Amino acid sequence: MTQSPTPDPASRSSAARAASLLARLKPSGPATFVRAPGRVNLIGEHTDYNQGFVLPAAIDLEIWMAVEAWDKPGVELTSLNLDETRSFEFDGLAPGGRESTSWIDYVAGTAWAMREAGLPLRGFRGVLDSTIPMGGSGLSSSAALEMAATWALADPAAPRPSAPRMAAIAQRAENAYVGVNCGIMDQFASAAGKAGNSLLIDCRANEFQVAVIPAGLSIVVCDTGSPRRLSSSEYNTRRSECEAGVALIAEREKGVTALRDVDRAMLARNRARLPEVVARRCEHVVEEDARVAATVAAMASGDLAEVGRLFAASHASLRDLYEVSSPALDAMVEIAAGVPGVVGSRMTGAGFGGCTVNLVRFGAEEALRERVLSDYPARTGLKPRVFVVAAVDGAGPMATPTA
């Protein structure tokens, strides 16, 4: 999405945010509010499109929308962040044919995908405000916009499909309409998040279980201030390399349709038949899937040293085998690793810039913030941002926010 100044979420009360949405909407009748969170992935990177496992949490950097029903078959939506109003009609929505992507395409694409899925649409006028850093920070502002749109567009009288099903519809909007070849993780996390917890998502079955984040830990997100350059072309290359690995392994092994089906022994048996780069990509995915299961087990037993080791191994693998890290991400992880109370630190999301995710003992958050704000600019020349976030529930309607 387009770069814009992102307001500090702590700088305004809920009531003030809601009031500014209503002041801009000037509804002629009753207005409702919907919210949709961004996400941070704890571990399980580049595994979703390999039908594997991921462990994200929905976070309290969110999109809020004030909405009123419209008698026209279409949408008129204002972004307070961009100070821009865009509209579209439901008739004639179709993928392709656009020269560039605008934020409203994520909403139009969601309308298109919902209609394709046979869901009735209602027209609406709305105003949105986002505290999710945009412009390539990797906290899924696009998925949050899609999930907010599913709630604003849905006919309130019609039955609503499950959160995983709605996530799949929003993913289709992004893949087929917007043209971004993402996996299911971001939409799923924004749709189905559980307050205080992470979600263990099985990206083949499109199902999840709640995975409790150990008591006494905060999630701290550090934005490198370097947007994800090259991310979509490199992302698509990684996907093709994984598919190439699957095709070669499936020639010799029964029942392999995705890297999800490949274990260590199978990869070792077939490694010599794979081009070296493809073998490294496959090794990352196979080991990363195993690290997700190991992290869930370590979190459940409170083995924080093991969680830290798994985060470090994930980051090293993304840097060395999958090659999606960046000097800025590596510097951010190295700085965090030297701060007492930081349990684990790794890049999160697609990579090539964006954010790191850190699990930090209560009380150590400010030490991490101070160290990042002093050491990171000196080392990289870039301006970081540090967010102490909470895991929150997934997207949905909300009562009129109060202070």
Q: Which residues bind ligand GLA (CB under 6 A)?
A: 45-46, 48-49, 182-183, 185-186, 349-350
**Rounded distance, CA 282 to CA 276, Å?**
10
Check: CB of residue 14 under 8 Å from CB of residue 401.
Answer: yes
10 Å CB burial of residue 303 (0-12, 13-18, 19+) is middle
CB of 26 to ligand GLA, least distance (A): 35
CB of 101 to ligand GLA, least distance (A): 15
CB of 56 to ligand GLA, least distance (A): 9
- Residue 124, φ and ψ in degrees, nearest 5: -150, 155
Q: At a CB cut-off of 8 Å and minimum separation 6, what does 254 contact? A: none
Nearer to ligand GLA, 125 or 260 (CB): 260
State the amino acid at position 243 in one-letter form: E
**Rounded distance, CA 252 to CA 274, Å?**
12
Nearer to ligand GLA, 123 or 138 (CB): 138
Q: Exactly one of 186, 223, 261, 330 is catalytic; which is it?
A: 186
Q: Could you tell me which residues are beta bridge partners of residue 190?
A: none
Q: Does residue 186 carry a catalytic annotation?
A: yes
Among candidate residues 341, 335, 337, the one with its CA nearest the CA of residue 375: 335
CA dihedral 365, 11, 146, 125 (to 10 degrees): 170
CB of 312 to ligand GLA, least distance (A): 17
State the amino acid at position 266 in one-letter form: M
Nearer to ligand GLA, 12 or 165 (CB): 165
Active site residues per annotation: 186
